[in-house]
Amino acid sequence: MSILVNKNSKIVVQGFTGKEGTFHASQMIEYGTNVVGGVTPGKGGEQHLDKPVFNTVADARKATGCNVSIIFVPPAFAGDAIMEAADAGVELIVCITEGIPVQDMVKAKAYLTAKNSRLIGPNCPGIITPEEAKVGIMPGFVFKKGKIGIVSKSGTLTYEAADQVVKAGLGVSTAIGIGGDPIIGTTTKEAVELFMNDPDTDGIIMIGEIGGSLEAEAARWVKANGTKPVVGFIAGQTAPAGRRMGHAGAIIGGKDDTAAAKMQIMRECGITVVDSPAAIGETMAKVLKAAAVVA
């Protein structure tokens, strides 16, 4: 089993015929992802990568029954693309685009509250259920099927965590890169909750970074509701206050935004915290073994 995407998901690509859309859609198709078509306004009726092109997401939804959209649309238009997908009734929207104006995301996120759509991203690597569906830009070969769920703000650390998990003799149920912008769709807590409720996920890896309160909120939820072991890591342990580090949301604005503060909160909530991403896999294996002994 998995969360959010699987081999039966029907994916449509917004920005299908552009350079980024073409490259990553072809990689997704090669991986075995069920890409059913794409959207590029003005090119409806054409074929691209042997898939149909539609003028609107609504047209694509009507023709293909797509239930997942992945967005490779330039920043100035990506907010509208998110709302268009939600308007068409697409259940899961994955926005890869980086640099979307904050005011556009404020509008898009508010719009989604009245829709039956979940957003992942923006500025994220996407989501992958190994050997079933890759809806994003991650290197698929790193991920092997298993029972460890990964939720991460960082694309690179998502790949690192997956590699560590596989090397430890485990595998991945689903991995989600939620993005590091100040305003995102699915939060760390929401992703952790999905994994906790997935019967085929045995353990969860939670990777965060400086800035914001997503990790603290997730940790407190785990303390109150958790039934599975969680291993955590926070990037940016040497970051100076007030300086943005990589992601737009990775900036220390207060004492609780630091890596040390987040790591302390996570430990207090029963999460096993590692100081280095290199220890993620082996630590997860040890925690699972200990949990099995206790059970």
Q: Parse the chain into domains and list their residue ranges.
A: 11-120, 138-294
- The answer to whether residue 61 scores a pLDDT higher than 90 is yes
Burial of 196 by CB count in 10 Å (0-12 exposed, 13-18 middle, 19+ buried)? middle
Amino acid 180: pLDDT: 87
CATH value of 138-294 in 3.40.50.2000, 2.60.40.420, 1.10.3210.10, 3.40.50.261? 3.40.50.261
Q: How far is the C-alpha of 127 from the C-alpha of 94, rounded, in Å?
A: 8
- The answer to whether residue 248 scores a pLDDT higher than 80 is no
Comparing 11-120 with 138-294, is the CATH topology the same?
Answer: yes
CATH number for region 11-120? 3.40.50.720
Show which residues are catalytic: 247
In the predicted model, what is the mean pLDDT of residues 226-252? Answer: 68
- The answer to whether residue 250 scores a pLDDT higher than 60 is no
- The answer to whether residue 245 scores a pLDDT higher than 70 is no
Beta carbons of 174 and 161 less than 8 angstroms apart: no
Q: Which residue has the tokens 């794409």?
A: 38
Beta carbons of 4 and 90 less than 8 angstroms apart: no
pLDDT tens for 98-128 read: 999 999 999 999 999 999 999 999 999 999 9
pLDDT tens for 164-184 read: 999 999 999 999 999 989 899
- The answer to whether residue 87 scores a pLDDT higher than 60 is yes
Amino acid 131: pLDDT: 96
